[in-house]
Amino acid sequence: MNLKNIPCLAYNLPQDILCLKYNGDFEQEIELIDALLKRALPQPLVERLQMEKLLAEGMMKDYETSFDEALAKFEEHIEGFTAEELKSYMIQGVIDWRYRRGQIAFQDAFYSSLLINTPALKQRLKDPDEKARQLAKSTLLDDNMRIIKEKGRRGYRYHIRHTLSPRDNYFRPNQFQHVHIPLPIETEWQKNFKLIAASDYKCINTKGPQGTIYFETAPETNEPCFVEYTYECWSEYKKLDNAVVEPLKLDVKTRQPIDHDGNSLVPNLLEELPHIWFTPYLRDLAASLAGNETNPLAKARKYYDFITKNVRYTYMRDYFLYENIPEFAALNLRGDCGVQGLLFITLCRLSGIPARWASGFCLTPTSVGSHDWTQFYVEPYGWLFCDPSYGGGAFRSGNEERRDYYFGNLDCFRLTANHEFQAEFVPAKKFMRIDPYDSQSGEIEYDDAPLLSGEIQSKRTMVESEEISG
């Protein structure tokens, strides 16, 4: 199974499989799938069952924390935390849980997810250093917003080192590894990429849609592949006005919408199964939120407002383990940065507003993390940024100015490695990727099998960062 099989997640499953799936009996689900695959089945159903087996194996690894174990973790770190609080957060949908063999089990990132979604808990952290780290990011973003509004433009140069290797238990001496590590791609706001140092590599792709450096290596000892580079990230402030919005420009021959450079916008208006999918519910949701509004900028703002005010931030299991991410967000009203971004993209495309994926790293002067955001296209502005996740964080903290800023604007604490969702690497992987949709941590496979997320070690280090002028 590989990336070309992903659209089959849009197919339904047999009822018996669904019963086991939703009760968390993943071992029995796999046994039933194996039994079904021995029968003569239609090829589309074979593909769907093979894909479901991969999902079930992933779910077994992602949901291993019991209620009592989760409660003990919160009691250890948060002053006065109780079982009643934990049950309340489950009811509110701010913490991801499933039944696992009939018992409650939490997704591995349950602790961080609850902290990021409930700012009040940060004030109750027992460790003063952890409390300071949790509270520092908002100050960084507010200061950046003020500077960019005052100066109109701001830039940073970053020096990053990224290493990737199998974990020791999964290392095979003298066997070929095929390794992809993400790199910044060339964009209007991301410039002057410079390779400082790297392991012996085969090729580099910084043109997109997903930037990587690719290695083929067969080491005797478990030495990581590495890349070290610098690049610049710029942010310019755009003050938006519904009154100046114009219709999309059309190509004189095809009569299809194009951007300022003459590139077709049609791909940014289409479905991309299984996730960017114009389901009946999402069609009705888009129409209900838009109402009688016809201005595309105003409609996009309505979708942004809905997501930032109603979709609670939670860390998620691997995206590969979801059949339809935007509909999950719209039905459950929860999701992380990429889940919220995909819902925004889908609602925009449903309304004829070109929209696309963007992802890579979020940065501070000393750290590197993964993050997803979006862009949407409105004349005469062109491509505008939208970060529903950061906007929702501002809403939860009562900062309306910052929430407003992230509709149309972005900070310069970013590395964009991907500007398309569900795109192939160069060269393409043979097996299913850890993340079939983009690349942030990196990927490794042997000639006969891929390595999974728990089987690799990925380390991203901020070597140096500096503000620049120009």
Task: Count Cβ atoms within 10 A of the Cβ of residue 456 and give its class: 0-12 exposed, 13-18 middle, 19 or more buried.
Answer: buried
pLDDT at 470 over 90: no
Please compute the mean of the pLDDT values over residues 360-378 and round it to a whole number: 94
Compute the residue count for the chain.
Answer: 470
Number of domain units in the chain: 3
Cα–Cα distance, 327 to 332 (Å, whole number): 8
Domain that holds residue 251: 238-408
The pLDDT confidence band at residue 3, using thresholds 50, 70 and 90, is confident
Task: Summarize pLDDT for 273-320 with one digit per residue, the tens.
Answer: 999 999 999 999 999 999 999 999 999 999 999 999 999 888 788 888
Task: Summarize pLDDT for 405-449 with one digit per residue, the tens.
Answer: 999 999 999 999 999 999 999 999 999 898 899 999 999 999 999
What CATH code is carried by the domain that includes residue 321? 3.10.620.30
Task: Summarize pLDDT for 37-66 with one digit per residue, the tens.
Answer: 999 999 999 999 999 999 998 888 888 899
**Domain check: are 258 and 382 in the same one?**
yes
**What's residue 95's pLDDT?**
83
CA-only gyration radius of the chain, Å: 23
Last residue of a domain, one of 115, 141, 171: 115
- ∠ CA 424-364-326, nearest 5°, is 45
Q: Looking at 238-279, list the stretches that DSSP marks H as alpha helix, in order from N- to C-terminal side.
A: none
Q: Does a structural domain hold residue 320?
A: yes
**Domain check: are 397 and 254 in the same one?**
yes
**Domain check: are 386 and 435 in the same one?**
no
Residue with tokens 């009946």: 280
CB atoms within 10 A of CB 463: 12
Task: Count Cβ atoms within 10 A of the Cβ of residue 103 and give its class: 0-12 exposed, 13-18 middle, 19 or more buried.
Answer: exposed
**What's residue 163's pLDDT?**
98
**What's residue 137's pLDDT?**
64
**Domain check: are 284 and 212 in the same one?**
no
> Are 453 and 318 a contacting pair, CB within 8 Å?
yes
**Domain check: are 205 and 315 in the same one?**
no
Distance, first Cα to last Cα, the chain: 47
The pLDDT confidence band at residue 138, using thresholds 50, 70 and 90, is low
Q: Looking at 123-161, list the stretches that DSSP marks H as alpha helix, in order from N- to C-terminal side.
A: 128-151
**Domain check: are 275 and 352 in the same one?**
yes
**Domain check: are 261 and 397 in the same one?**
yes
pLDDT at 136 over 80: no
Last residue of a domain, one of 115, 136, 162: 115
Cα–Cα distance, 57 to 47 (Å, whole number): 16
Cα–Cα distance, 5 to 226 (Å, whole number): 30
**Domain check: are 244 and 299 in the same one?**
yes
**What's residue 333's pLDDT?**
92
**Domain check: are 160 and 285 in the same one?**
no
